[in-house]
Amino acid sequence: RLFAWRREEHYGADGSPAPSKPSRRAVIHGAAAALLLSGMTLLDAKDAEASVFHFSGKRPNALLGPKGGDRYLELCPDKPNCISTSSNAYSKQFVPPWTYNPDGATSKKSMKQAVEELTRAIEAYPGAKIVTSRATNSTLGGGWYIASEFESSFMGFVDDVEFLFSPDGKTVDYRSASRIGEDDFKANRTRIKNLRVELQNSGWMSVGF
């Protein structure tokens, strides 16, 4: 009887081969494929830049905004999903500031003009929006601060990206950090590079390069 049950499990009662049961891996892969297909359908039906999911996380208000009397931006935690010009120059989170009036430039640009150029670059970036844009006033003089949010196109992850214009009339510090997770697979670095490349058309450069 046991042998007959085992035989029916593999061949069926009539002797024909029984259909094989899908493995756990096949089920998982099938579900993932269905999810991806549904996501692609949603993307076709909506704006191509809209996110299917919204893993936005909570806005870290305590970390955002100019610090030290409007003089600098917050440092990064010891995570690869954050970069900042305020971090230690020897740390993995450090990135060089930008300048919109590099040495050797034929004409000098006003801070107002530079703010307008950066604003246009942010607004043209997919998934980006400006949250705050205001003047700053430190012991060093007047500057400008821009806070923006960048949402990824499919999963809806949100990164907080800040820019601080120095009173020196040429330097821009910035900080870009993910709200969720540990590793961003260089998403913040790639975005900052893309913005800088766009601003190069207006004469911007990384300091020291």
Question: How far apart, in whole angstroms, are the C-alpha atoms of residue 90 and residue 98?
Answer: 18
pLDDT tens for residues 152-202? 876 678 999 999 999 999 999 999 999 988 788 899 999 999 999 999 999
> pTM for the full model?
0.73
Say how far apart CA 164 and CA 83 lie, in whole Å: 14
Kindly calculate the radius of gyration of the chain based on its CA atoms and give it in whole angstroms. 26
pLDDT at 49 exceeding the cut of 80: no
Give the Cβ contact number of residue 113 at 10 Å: 12
Structural domains of the chain in order of their starting residue, each with its CATH number: 2-45 (no CATH), 82-206 (3.30.310)
How far apart (Å, rounded) are the C-alpha atoms in residues 94 and 83?
6
Spatial neighbors of 196 by CB under 8 A, at least 6 apart, are 98, 204, 206
